[in-house]
Amino acid sequence: MLKRTLLYDAHVKLGAKMVEFGGFEMPVQYTSILEEHRWVRSKAGLFDVSHMGEIEVTGPRALEFVSYITANDPARLDVFQVQYSAFLTEKGTFVDDILVYRLPDRFLLVVNASNTDKDFEWVKSHQFKDGVEVKNLSSDYGELALQGPVAEKVLQRITDIDLSKMGYYWAGFGKVLGKDALISRTGYTGEDGFEIYLPPSEVEEVFWKLLDMEEVKPAGLGARDTLRLEMGYCLYGNDIDETTNALEAGLKWIVGFHKPDFIGKKALLEIKEKGITRKRVGFETERRGAVPRHGQKILDADGNEIGHVTSGTFSPSLRKGIGMGYVKKEFARRGTEINIEIRNRAEKAVIVRMPFYKEGTVKK
């Protein structure tokens, strides 16, 4: 049985096409992926991301515990700062990629919808005997993402938090339409924008209020995927999973090797020592009609298999095929010419630096 977010009726009312994603029935598009994509890049798009999971960690040893179960270093966070991180297996591969919020008295770990139950069980299985409490608060939050160059201007109309003072990957408590909310300057699109956590009862009112504004249009998972892919952001289940380690995924920057201990550290140190054998890369296809897709083979110039595509799409901004995948390390250098096997044809492609789209308004 598929789950529905609180906004299911609203999506249907807006004429959304609904699809299964992460165990939820979610809107893939309201009008057109291309239109929604362009609207986010030029104005502001509103996404229902209530399917995301939230795990709360409290107690006197909360920091120590979060440090042990995540790859990145939460001790580097000030209160109200946010960090991209991951849960890793003992092998250094991904249980999930997550956001870590350091709040005044607790940590909030925001996880992928499809992994919420798995993650919660996994976190509990590593829980210290004392000093830490862990709760799955996924049903206690609704979440909206407002993304686009005018997101700050628009959201400021209905919140008392001074958004102009909120930096990238920072958060704050405040009122949205008079109701308590947690807002962070985060997102998955490459544009400036915010993620807004609300009590379930308030989500729909805020959703409609934002859509009342002429600069705001709803955007679905289809656009969310093309937007994140243009930025080279990973999607769990495609680009990273329990078979890919953090180093070959190119996510060494979220691995706190200086920490005394964390799950996966031993394996990653060994991999670091020996060197990786394959690497996540981004590529663009040469022919406009050659659109790479998840699962296709990557070949060298002579037709030998050297890897596979993990995500691919037509890029609405670049107007060509773009993709990510893993290739043998010796083919990972920028400028390397490769081929993607698309419907039994070898299509020329070249390895490029990510992000593919370089004009994003995201505040760094």
Partner 1 sequence: MLIPEGLKYTKEHEWIQVDGEVGIVGITDYAQNELSDIVFVELPEVGQKVAKGERVATLEAVKTVADVYSPVTGEVIEVNERLADEPDLINRDPYGDGWIVKIKIKNLDELNDLLSAEEYEKLVEEEEA
| Chain contacts with partner 1 (rule: CB under 8 A) | 17, 28-29, 32-34, 222, 225-226, 288-289, 291, 293, 313-314, 316, 319, 343
Between CA 76 and CA 38 the distance in angstroms is 36
Q: Which of residues 182 and 231 has its CB atom nearest to partner 1 in the complex?
A: 231
Distances 95 to 115, 209, 306 between C-alpha atoms, Å: 8, 36, 25
Q: Which residue has the tokens 């296809």?
A: 285
Which residue do the tokens 């919420």 mark?
116
Closest CB 23 distance from partner 1, rounded Å: 20
Which helix (H) or strand (E) covers residue 142, if one does?
strand 142-147
H or E element that contains 284: strand 278-285
Query: What's the longest Cα–Cα distance across the chain?
Result: 63
Give 163 or 298: the residue with its C-beta nearer to partner 1: 298
Query: Which of 171, 291 has the CB closer to partner 1?
Result: 291
Q: Which is nearer to partner 1, 17 or 328 (by Cβ)?
A: 17
Q: Which is nearer to partner 1, 5 or 226 (CB)?
A: 226
Report, in Å, the least distance between residue 289 CB and partner 1.
4
Q: Residues 309, 292: contact at Cβ < 8 Å?
A: yes
Minimum gap (Å) between residue 88 Cβ and partner 1: 30
Residues in CB range of 142: below 8 A, 6 or more apart:
5, 6, 7, 50, 197, 198, 199, 200, 202, 203
Burial 34-66, CB ≥16 within 10 A → b, else e: eebbebbbebbbbbbbbbbbbbbbbbebbbebb
**Least separation in angstroms between CB 232 and partner 1:** 18
Q: Is 277 helix (H, G, I), strand (E, B) or coil?
A: coil
Answer yes or no: are the C-beta atoms of 135 and 56 closer than 8 Å: yes
Which of the 8 DSSP states describes residue 159?
Answer: B
Closer Cβ to partner 1, 19 or 362, answer by number: 19
Shortest Å, Cβ 96 to partner 1 = 24
Cα 194 to Cα 214: distance, rounded to the nearest angstrom: 18
Closer residue to partner 1 in complex, CB, 204/286: 286
C-alpha–C-alpha distance, residues 94 and 239, integer Å = 10
Determine phi and psi for 75, rounding to 5 degrees: -65, -20
We find the least distance from the C-beta atom of residue 228 to partner 1, in angstroms, to be: 14
| Cα separation, 143 vs 181, whole angstroms | 10
Q: Nearest distance from residue 349's CB to partner 1, in Å?
A: 15
Which residue, 125 or 344, is less far from partner 1 as judged by CB? 344
Alpha-carbon distances of 21 from 66, 122, 220, 221, rounded to whole Å: 28, 21, 11, 9
| Eight-class DSSP state of 316 | T
Q: How far is the CB of 223 from partner 1 (least distance, A)?
A: 9
**Single-letter amino acid code for the residue at 70:** T
Distance of closest approach, residue 225 Cβ to partner 1, in angstroms: 8
